[in-house]
Copies of this chain bind each other. A is one copy, B any other.
Amino acid sequence: MYNIIQHDGSVCAANGFFADGVSAGLKKNSAKDVAFIYSEVACKIASVFTTNKMCAAPIKHFLAKGDFQTNFVLINARNANAMTGKAGVEDINEVLDALASTCQDVKNPVMSSTGVIGVRLPKQKIIEAMPLFDLSKKEPMSAASAIMTTDTFSKTIAFEVLLEDGSSFRIGAMAKGAGMINPAMATMLCFITTDADVGKEEMQEILDEVTRTTFNAISVDGDTSTNDTVMLLANGLSGAYNKNAFKETLFKVMHFLALEMVRDGEGATKLVTYNVTGAKDAKDAEIVAKALSDSLLVKTALFGQDPNWGRIASTVGASGVEAYEETLSISFNELCVYNKGELLFNEAMEEKAAEIMQLPRFSISCDLGIADGKFTAYGCDLGYEYVKINADYRT
């Protein structure tokens, strides 16, 4: 029906998209800290924003615009422009007005920010960096590194989709966010560009659906940031579209980036997949999967490579969903350590389980044995390094 091929263009893979990162002096050592994405024609926008009631100024600014198209996204790191009230939104207007006079081709620009909360946007520095913007640049890796905060590597991906009729479109993306630990300071941002000829409403519907099993499957500690943003820009330039292909490809893009975030979790040494099956329904399965990837006790046991399945069972029980000791089964990869009330664990099994826990990537599966609700979440361990990073984030 269609072929999906990886592409190395990141947010510049799709026709008509340009991007770059520059240094405005927000980060130390002249590191890049301001990025832009520019499309030569106006884009339809689909978006998912944080549910945090203290949502940041850029999100308020975006939502106040109502229904609109844009050809420019300006992104800065080091300052979240959150808890800055009306002044925060006015700062954005001032920055974007300055942008309009510097870059004539920019229409209806939007802004996105990540960094420290509760400090006014250093707008003068950002405005002074604008002459460095070259809208003909295709430097997606430069843009991707400019938006990093506690990330240890940049996160990008792109695919080309070849349809049966010979037409094709591309989807590319960049993201930042150090992981499932989801620190309020290390906001999750993701910008996706496509030249697919997709309708705005369908695009939003697909984005919502895919977000649930990708970025929302890693956002597990309830500490939703003030700035979390997923933005999908479609300029339609390819003239090509197929709903199934678009959705499958968007899933591949977002799933890859979601797992990259977990892999880059602050101080994380392991990527763990939590497969919950047999729940009363999908919602119950989601609650259990997130409770597991969220549990401090499970996370520290992972770090200690301790196959402490009792903590898994206890976390399932504490999650509040329908669950029974007699129907629950727990496995580490393929190794079943507890089976419907049967205590299987012995020294030999403990050794095998400990071996699995030494792997950089493995799965923990819980079958609740009730019905067929299922959900998969992704998590990481929590070690000394997480404490170190977060005990002293601002200095």
Which A residues have a C-beta under 8 Å from some C-beta of B? 51-55, 80, 82-86, 116-120, 181, 183-185, 221-226, 291, 295-297, 300-301, 303-304, 306, 308-311, 313-326, 328, 338, 341, 343, 345, 382-384, 386-388, 390-395
Specify which of A308, A322, A384 lies most central, judged by the most chain B CB atoms within 10 Å of its CB: A308
Question: For A320, what are the chain B residues with a Cβ–Cβ distance below 8 Å?
Answer: 51, 53
Do B341 and A308 touch (CB < 8 A)?
A: no
Q: In the complex, are the beta carbons of B118 and A223 less than 8 A apart? A: no
Q: For the complex, give the distance between the alpha carbons of A310 and B301 in Å.
A: 30
**Out of B80, B297, B319, B394, which one reaches A184, CB within 8 Å?**
B297
Per assembly, the copies of the chain total: 2
Chain B residues with CB under 8 A of A388: 384
SS of A interface (majority): loop
Residue in B closest to A86 when the chains form the complex, CB atoms: B341
Residues on B with C-beta less than 8 A from A303 are: 387, 391
B297 to A296, Cβ gap below 8 A? no
Partner of A295, one of B223, B321, B383: B223
B83 and A308: CB pair below 8 A? Answer: no
Which B residues lie within 8 Å of A301 (CB)?
Answer: 390-391, 393
Given known pairs A317-B53, A338-B83, the reply for A310 and B118 (CB within 8 Å) is: yes
Q: Give the residues in chain B near A291, CB-CB below 8 Å.
A: 222
Complex formed: what's the CA distance from A257 to B185 in Å?
Answer: 35
Can you identify 25 A-B contacts, CB atoms within 8 angstroms? A53-B322, A83-B310, A83-B313, A83-B338, A83-B343, A117-B314, A118-B343, A118-B345, A119-B343, A120-B343, A184-B297, A185-B311, A221-B296, A223-B297, A226-B317, A300-B387, A300-B390, A300-B391, A304-B392, A306-B394, A306-B395, A308-B393, A308-B394, A383-B391, A384-B388
CB-nearest residue of chain B to A315:
B223
